[in-house]
Amino acid sequence: MCHCLKRVDSYAGACIVTENRTDKVVMPLEIYGVMSNMSVEDLISSAESVNAALEALGNCNEGEPVVNKLLSLFISLYRFRFMA
């Protein structure tokens, strides 16, 4: 987990799936750490790749894409002043 956090920290923002210190999927979020300048098609493909990589690692995701859940988490953390 520490390795993955360090990888994310090397970007302005990103959603990264790692296993054994190897990147499985990197979804850069260059704009304010929460937005991307990818095309809609590339963004959808990247989000689907994140879900697929996590599923291959045993994460059973239900509902909205993992990327959306992570963005919602950070918005909530900021909103309730857990992130300054």
Classify the C-alpha dihedral 6-10-84-17 as positive or negative. Answer: negative
Q: For position 7, what pLDDT does the model report?
A: 92
Q: 55-79: per-residue pLDDT in tens?
A: 899 988 888 888 778 778 777 777 7
Q: For position 35, what pLDDT does the model report?
A: 79
Q: 14-51: per-residue pLDDT in tens?
A: 889 999 999 999 999 888 777 788 898 998 898 889 88
pLDDT band at 84, cuts 50/70/90? low
- 3-state SS assignment for residue 70: helix
pLDDT top residue among 61 and 8: 8
pLDDT exceeds 70 at position 83? no
Angle of the 40-56 helix axis to the 66-79 helix axis, nearest 10: 100
